[in-house]
Amino acid sequence: MANIYEKSQYIIPRGRVFFDVLDAADQLTGERHLGNCPTVTLNISTEKAPHYSAEAGPGVKDANRVVRIDRTGKITCDNMSADNRAMFISGEKSTVTQATGNVAAEEITVTPGRFYQLGRTDANPSGARKVSDVVVTPDAGGEPYELGTDYTVDAALGRLQILASGSIPAGKIKVAYAKPSTTWLRIKSGDKAELRGALRVLSNVAEGEQIDTYCPLVTLAPTGDMSLITSDDAYVQMEFDIEVLTPPNGVAIFEDGRPVEI
């Protein structure tokens, strides 16, 4: 009978990535699907402590034990959801609520040719949105300036442009406008440099054995560039560094196959 050899298994990895963030009490809060992640990698490196005999002649190595194991990795994600963007800038989502109101005389110091955000404050840098009935007048009062000749307005974004060819000089002006009740999404960066939680990768390969990977305790730290503007046709991606930790009395990595038919 001929020798029987191991059948090689070739895999082109595909799958779905889930992250289960730990809250302040170190309790898991539920797995969130990160969406399309073109790359998820794990890297394992070891550090050894060599020992050299001093009993005779030149010292010869008679032991080389592993003393440290580092398990790291990387996630590349191109699902630019609000939740993922919040993870990348180490921030959180919120809803901005704009109340209906009329602004009688917002004072702005302007330079011809520049753009200005109506309603901008340090706490609300996006300012007012969906403005209407915009009227620009000199700071000292007098006849209003002319829309289209002296200034333009992007009403949806509340953007005022002082035209260089117009008659508005450098200095202070007053702007009156109305704003409606509306809301929009805001993602604001925070001071949490990394997230702690559990990572699960569910295999979805077209051919070969499905192997699911679970890491009970990891940290995710954003890294690298996220394009805000680009001249090429590449899709925007964000990257996270993975640090795989071993939980108390636990295991760092589980790899599970799928149940077999009985």
The pLDDT assigned to 167 comes to 95
d(CA 87, CA 220): 9
The pLDDT assigned to 207 comes to 83
What is the token pair recorded at 72? 């790291």
What is each CA distance from 153 to 56, 105, 163, 180, 221, in whole angstroms?
Answer: 88, 16, 11, 16, 40
pLDDT-based confidence at 35, cuts 50/70/90? very high
Whole-model pTM? 0.86
The pLDDT assigned to 192 comes to 79
pLDDT in tens, 101-159: 999 999 999 999 999 999 999 999 999 999 999 999 999 989 999 999 999 999 999 99
pLDDT-based confidence at 56, cuts 50/70/90? confident
CB 243, CB 252: distance < 8 Å = no
